[in-house]
Amino acid sequence: MTDTTAEIVLFEGFDELDAIGPYEVFENAAQAGASLETDLVTLEETDLVTASHGLRVEPDGTLGEPDLLVVPGGGWTTADGGVRAAVDDGVLPEAVDETYTKGATVASVCTGAMIFAEAGLLEGRPATTHDVALEDLAETATVVDERVVDDGDILTAGGVTSGIDLALWLVEREFGADIADAVSDEMAHDRRGSVFA
């Protein structure tokens, strides 16, 4: 059986938990029997990426052609770094759009949804994000008041810790409730909120 490949794309100023929460869920799912391989990637080769709270992460490589691409948030309300800078730059939204066009499922955590909005992926679609960006998101998407929104090949999650619930939902959707429950137990995480699907 071929592994499902998941890539979590990192950029300067990303929120730590937005990326590391799903990464840990996916790694635990693989240990619990899911045929899932997860990498932390960047758009360009780099030795380290610095997150919003100063954590420095060594990526596994650069963006490939994953089955699933997860985009964290962070930094929507700041002028330097993070999602705001990525949207202004335009390179990451373009890469997300290209990855989606090639057939990947894409999922955002927190204000990562604004990268999807900039890429034109959320036009008229149900979505959610962190409270600080809901008004901005409403300019393109149909905002849904749920922790996780699953619109098939595009998923979005609310603020920060909701990335763990998003990842657990993806594990359940793709590999079954037993594996998702095992991961939830391993991480001592009580899943919160319902999934809009």
* Tens-place pLDDT, residues 15-33: 999 999 999 999 999 999 9
Q: Which of 19, 110, 127, 133 is catalytic?
A: 110
Average pLDDT, the chain: 97
**What global pTM score does this model have?**
0.98
Mean pLDDT of 136-164: 97
* Tens-place pLDDT, residues 88-127: 999 999 999 999 999 999 999 999 999 999 999 999 999 9
Among 195, 178, 180, 133, CA closest to 22: 180
Structure tokens at 73: 């948030």
The whole-number pLDDT of residue 80 equals 81
Among 107, 7, 137, CA closest to 66: 7
Instruction: Give the pLDDT band of residue 82 (cuts 50, 70, 90).
Output: very high
Mean pLDDT of 50-78: 97
The whole-number pLDDT of residue 2 equals 67
Beta bridge partners of 142: 126
Phi, psi of 131 (to 5 degrees): -50, -35
CB atoms within 10 A of CB 124: 8
The whole-number pLDDT of residue 79 equals 78
CB-based contacts of 168, cutoff 8 Å, min separation 6:
25, 180, 183, 184, 189, 191
The whole-number pLDDT of residue 60 equals 98
CB-based contacts of 85, cutoff 8 Å, min separation 6:
12, 13, 75
What is the residue whose two structure tokens read 């079954």? 176
The residues spanned by each domain of the chain are 4-196
Mean pLDDT of 53-82: 96
pLDDT > 80? residue 1: no
CA atoms within 13 A on the CB side of 188: 0
Architecture of domain 4-196: 3-Layer(aba) Sandwich (3.40)
134 classed as catalytic: no
